Structure 1
Amino acid sequence: MHGTSLPTRRDEWFIGIAKYDGVFQLGATRDEVAKAWDATIADLRRAPGGQVGPHEFISVTFGSMYSESDWIGLAQAISDFVVKGDDTVLIEQAAPAIAPEVENQTASCNAVTCVDAPWPKDLAVWERDAAEQHAKYPFAARYNQLLNGGCATWPVGSETRVTPLGKGLPPILMFAKSATRPRRTPVPSGCIRRCPPRAW
């Protein structure tokens, strides 16, 4: 689940921001930077900037955790907002994308995600699971619930899960570049597996 890996990625980002406190002025420690991030959410909740409120801010942070190339720009946008009171760049980065190609991407993602595995249809189950995850991973749990919520009412059933067995393949050694620090799905111990003969 996103919730278990992205908070770790966010902490790495916070640590990087703290390292360059002379540039961003958001704090010299991870905790200080986290407070600045939380304060940004609180400010946007009190007074949204146009179409940008706390959800949009969490969304842009969530998306930026997939690539370090986005980290400096978002850190600077938060710095401008917190230190200078200037929300121009933050609103520009976090404004919801409503272009047709973005809507198509969302629909395509749902079409794959919602049939990839069984999803609960009872909204009470979603609420229970999200509450449990929120207690452990407050950054991502509720956003993750919203991101996948369409699957609760998706009209097409899930497909039968395929278990890769590696049968008929030559022995190979696989390395996952981000296995120890995954963006999306955590892999315990940064698994490096050899197949066949065992399932992996």
Structure 2
Amino acid sequence: MINNQQIIDYVKRTVDLTDQEAVIFAASFREVKIKKRQFIVQPNFIVKNRNYVVKGAFRAYVVDDYGQDSTIAFAIEDWWITDYNSYILQKPATMFVIALEDSIILEISYEKEQMLKQSNHKFETFFRIRAERTAAFMQQRIISNLTQTAEERYDRFMERYPQIAERIPQYALASYLGMTTEFLSRIRNKKASKKS
């Protein structure tokens, strides 16, 4: 029940729910324990669930034809993660989502989400606002990748998400920021030497 309360508190920061609405919303989710290095999304399979992270950390990434992987997103507590293209369009996934730690998620199926949205405009409003914020974040990320230097991208990430940087492997952070692990090491060493 504590995990249900966590998602209810999260939703109430966006829309005001009655006690009955909160119970209905939370009842649509299923708690799942995920082991470190376990995949919750894999390419070529249609994604059936949207996932809210109760505890743990995840990485979403794609792999190109040469075996090079690129990190698309991270998620820690109170964040959502899935392959949204696959989930929303109900088409085969193109990315992997893997647990970086032993984790607990609350998952909602595509069908249950549609039923929630049809049953109550507050639920629809919540998911619409989530989608809008995700779209805005992705646009900011694209612009950042096109207009900022690698060091500026690193600084911005560390300023905004220091709690994530402590929990993810360096190779994953480097690929998210669009640089090699060696280049990220050089940036970190340069910054460490400035402090000392």
Q: TM-score higher than 0.5 here?
A: no
Q: TM-score, normalised by structure 1?
A: 0.29
Greater helix proportion: 1
